[in-house]
A and B are shown apart, each in its own frame.
Chain A
Amino acid sequence: MKICGPKCSLCGLIISVWGIVQLVLMGLFFYIHSVALIEDLPLEEEYKTLEEFYTAANSAYNQNAYNCWIAACIYVLTLLLSAQQFYMNSRVTAN
């Protein structure tokens, strides 16, 4: 079954590979609570106590790590899909 053309499937392939690599790594960095990524956490402006902030930050780090890995998994799916499309397209042009 053919959904998209050769260029579209190639684009999907590239973005998927890139997404998998970068999102897995970013998930890893979130998982080890990298300070560089703190601005990307869904945190409030102010917290009442320090403990509250720590628990919120820790859970946000973990949540973001899982979200990144979920996105990476979705990209595995799109990778398979676009790879199959790419294969179909290349077969069509070969014939």
Chain B
Amino acid sequence: MGSLFRSEEMALCQLFLQSEAAYACVSELGELGLVQFRDLNPDVNAFQRKFVNEVRRCDEMERKLRYLEKEIKKDGIPMLDTGESPEAPQPREMIDLEATFEKLENELREVNQNAEALKRNFLELTELKHILRKTQVFFDESVPMVYKSTSTHSSNKYRRYLQMADNQNEDEQAQLLGEEGVRANQPGQNLKLGFVAGVISREKLPAFERMLWRACRGNVFLRQAMIESPLEDPTNGDQVYKSVFIIFFQGDQLKTRVKKICEGFRATLYPCPEAPADRREMAMGVMTRIEDLNTVLGQTQDHRHRVLVAAAKNLKNWFVKVRKIKAIYHTLNLFNLDVTQKCLIAECWVPLLDIETIQLALRRGTERSGSSVPPILNRMQTFENPPTYNRTNKFTKAFQALIDAYGVASYREMNPAPYTIITFPFLFAVMFGDLGHGAIMALFGLWMIRKEKGLAAQKTDNEIWNIFFGGRYIIFLMGVFSMYTGLIYNDIFSKSLNIFGSHWHLSYNKSTVWNNNYLQLSPATSDYEGTPYPFGMDPIWQVASSNKIVFQNAYKMKISIIFGVLHMIFGVIMSWHNHTYFRNRLSLIYEFIPQLLFLVVLFFYLVLLMFIKWNRYSAKNDFPMTEACAPSILITFIDMVLFKSSKAPGKDCNVHMFAGQSFFQTIFVLIALACIPVMLLGKPIKIMQARKLANEEVQPITGSSDAEVGGMSNGGGSHGGGGEHHDEEEMSEIFIHQGIHTIEYVLGSVSHTASYLRLWALSLAHAQLAEVLWSMVLSLGLNKEGWLGGIFLTVVFAFWAVLTVGILVLMEGLSAFLHTLRLHWVEFQSKFYMGHGYAFQPFSFDTIIENGTAATGETE
């Protein structure tokens, strides 16, 4: 195993594969997933490559499989996913697969077509059924109207008579038009009243009605009735609501017009017999036909189901196979063809440590294909930048992802991930310090870790869940560290635990306490034992409501600056690893040393001042070392930088904390100032001198370093690349670069130090929010008097618990996470990390199948 500290050493290799063995070998390499192939014919477009046909066939197969998958999903049949990945099939098996898919697809298409035709038929028949039923109502209900007015008592008789014997159109019309119609008929005008009946979707109906009215100038009569049950659209299976309508009109001209409008509105018209007996007969016929159709439809569905269930068993397996074949041919397309056409030549990046395993895999592939000529793996010299490959496991993967999200490390550059594993959860916990919230987070992380296998198996598309699950080890560590800092801050849901017994004691007697509203405990007297609470904050501070925040602010602010400065110094020291590894003496001397010196004499001195202040001043001391004489560190620091003489904080106090302080401070500032020109000019001037020297010694030969020019296409970094690479850069560019870097560093160390104050700010905000939530919500439940309080408390507690998780753990956790990320990316990594590399993307079946269709993306 390689270490996480630097990326793997890579080698560019040339691979000669015999044509017959190439397929099997590439398949073996894909299973291994340790080789990144390079495109050797980038100028050839995708359609002119050698294995275009095979890729196309795979595409076709994939399309068929996707079609099958769609149909299976539509029917809600569960797909068997064993999670195993079958080996890539031999090329000759491809034909079998193709034939199987072809057969399945044709069968399914045929079944679908039949089903659709049947369904359309079914829809028409149901619509017709509804028309017949509804129109019957239209025709019927006008009967009593007509005759009720004239002869109410005999209407029943009339109706029966009508039903029995109305074959005549006149009667029908008489009923439809009511009295007026009858009256209109009486004068003997030749009135032929026609009607059409049909079905239209419900939302179109109002527009349809208006159109009819306008186009026919109100000369048509529309009746409509809703079909209550939804109908199924045969083409897409949607449920649609429709209405039956019937239009009465007079004359052929209107008829054509009405029909045109119906056509325009996509209404389906159905022939409707005019005579009731015919209608009844037709309805009977329709009913029997619907029943017949239902049985046929059921059988078709059964058949379809059987086909799909059979396919669902193998579908995932087939997908894997086809994707593997396709990936192999895609890879083969990247290869060069030998002149003799007997052999394929590939170029690939390979981790040096894995060459043995790769050769073994190649040998296996050759044996499988039955070829006698072994493949040749030949290491090449190159000036190109190799890809960055950090071997990770499931634990380090998430941390590496945090680093890579900022930028993939340059090749063989020092990787901050191993340190991030500890510093990231720690800085997070400084902001999130609460034993209770930390415990919730740690338990959640622990649960995900314990159930890892089961949770990983059920793949979901839920992005948020995937993020949480991917970062389960980070979450767990963040939780555990937060529990630790929670103990230090002595905060559990904003309450304190008095484990070791507070070291503060009340020395006031009863009457003093009774008569005074505000009393102080002085550390100078016997109120304070003189030794601090053994672990973390003294729990007494929780009840000190008036100066708790003042005390904690002073503590947390200093702590965050101390951690920040240490973190940054650590970052600068990391750059030493890079400079020594890349043998970059110039950077080491003219960048690393002044940078470190600058940081130490200014900011590490600031940290030292804090410790000196903590150490030397105490309430129990006499003047001038009492707490009243403790100087403000910030003011001291500002005065130091501005060369101002400080003022003593009190009358009997000393100006300085220790002897010779002002002398040291002057020296320190001068050293820091002296560092700036060294950083700014040291390296460029040295490079300039070296160039001059080289020019004098050797005559410049143009194009002597062609290979280097190609290799250092992304050069220009002031550290990271070797010294000789600066030859290509303009001198002015080097100066500008160095200037930018220096300004960034000098200003950065000030602003970055201040930036670490976010540790304090967020931790304060978190503690306050937790306290507010407790006193505003949970206290309500606790403050309830009487026995009902218990029930009330149950409800309030649930509410408080939900808010705690939602606001304090999730939202505050997210914000603390983002701030920690920023502290690492900006404040820490800017001190040493280049991140100019590109990631190693090996040809691996696992990732290809996981990403589904992404295999084609890179090459096309």
Contact = CB atoms under 8 A, between A and B. Distances in A.
Interface stretch (B177-185, B519-527, B568-576, B785-793): B785-793
B498 A36 contact: yes
A23 interface: yes
Contacts of A1: none
B803 to A, nearest CB: 12
Most chain A CB within a 10 A radius of its CB, from B496, B514, B791, B798: B798
B791 A71 contact: yes
A22 B781 CA distance: 14
B737 interface: no
Given A19-B794, A74-B790, A40 B496 contact: no
A63 B785 contact: yes
Contacts of B797: 19, 22-23, 71, 75
Contact of A68 (B495, B783, B793): B793
Interface in B3-55: none
Ranked 4 nearest A-B pairs via Cβ: A70-B790, A40-B782, A71-B793, A67-B789
B794 A36 contact: no
Given A40-B778, A70-B791, 6 more contacts: A19-B798, A40-B783, A41-B782, A68-B793, A71-B791, A71-B793
Contacts of B778: 40
* Chain A binding surface SS class: helix
A3 B801 CA distance: 22
Contacts of B785: 42, 60, 63
A45 to B, nearest CB: 12
Q: A interface, how many residues as a size bin? A: 20 to 34
Nearest to A73: B790
Contact of A70 (B782, B787, B802): B787
Interface in B525-577: 539, 542-543
Interface string A73-91: 0110010000000000000
A92 B564 CA distance: 54
Given A18-B801, A67-B784, A39 B779 contact: yes
B775 interface: yes
Given A39-B775, A39-B779, A41-B783, A71 B794 contact: yes
A29 to B, nearest CB: 9
B805 to A, nearest CB: 9
B510 interface: yes
Nearest to B543: A35
Interface in A17-54: 18-19, 22-23, 34-42, 50
Given A41-B782, A50-B514, A15 B798 contact: yes
A68 B798 CA distance: 13
A67 B778 CA distance: 13
A78 B798 CA distance: 11
A42 B784 contact: yes
Contacts of B510: 50
B498 A66 contact: no
B590 to A, nearest CB: 57
A9 interface: no
A70 to B, nearest CB: 3
A19 B790 contact: no
B775 A66 contact: no
A70 B796 CA distance: 13
6 contacts: A15-B802, A18-B801, A38-B543, A41-B783, A67-B790, A67-B793
A87 to B, nearest CB: 18
Nearest to B540: A35
Contact of B542 (A22, A23, A36, A67): A36
Interface string B476-500: 0000000000000000000111100
Contact of A36 (B495, B783, B787): B495
A51 B636 CA distance: 52
B791 A74 contact: yes
B851 to A, nearest CB: 29
Interface in B782-841: 782-787, 789-791, 793-794, 797-798, 801-802
Interface string B654-694: 00000000000000000000000000000000000000000
A35 B541 CA distance: 12
A40 B779 contact: yes
Contacts of A60: 785
B496 A36 contact: yes
Contacts of A75: 794, 797
Most chain A CB within a 10 A radius of its CB, from B539, B782, B801: B782
Contacts of A34: 498
Nearest to B797: A19
Contacts of A18: 801
B436 to A, nearest CB: 8
A67 B782 contact: yes
Contacts of A40: 778-779, 782-783
A38 to B, nearest CB: 7
Interface string B763-782: 00000000000010011011
B518 to A, nearest CB: 15
Nearest to A68: B793
B493 to A, nearest CB: 8
A37 B774 CA distance: 11
B787 A67 contact: yes
A71 B840 CA distance: 57
Contacts of A50: 510, 514
B743 to A, nearest CB: 51
A74 B775 CA distance: 23
A18 B437 CA distance: 12
A42 B793 CA distance: 13
A9 to B, nearest CB: 14
Nearest to B539: A36
Contacts of B495: 36-37
A36 B497 CA distance: 8
A63 to B, nearest CB: 7
Interface in B356-375: none
A42 B782 CA distance: 8
Contacts of B787: 66-67, 70
B789 A63 contact: yes
Most chain A CB within a 10 A radius of its CB, from B778, B781, B786, B797: B797
Contacts of B782: 37, 40-42, 64, 67-68
A39 to B, nearest CB: 7
B455 to A, nearest CB: 14
Contacts of B498: 34-36
Contacts of B539: 36
Contacts of B784: 42, 67
B277 to A, nearest CB: 53
Most chain A CB within a 10 A radius of its CB, from B496, B514, B543, B801: B801
A16 B801 CA distance: 10
Nearest to B502: A35
B440 to A, nearest CB: 8
Contacts of A41: 782-783
A27 B797 CA distance: 13
A20 to B, nearest CB: 10
B783 A42 contact: yes
A74 to B, nearest CB: 5
Contacts of A63: 785-786, 789
B60 to A, nearest CB: 38
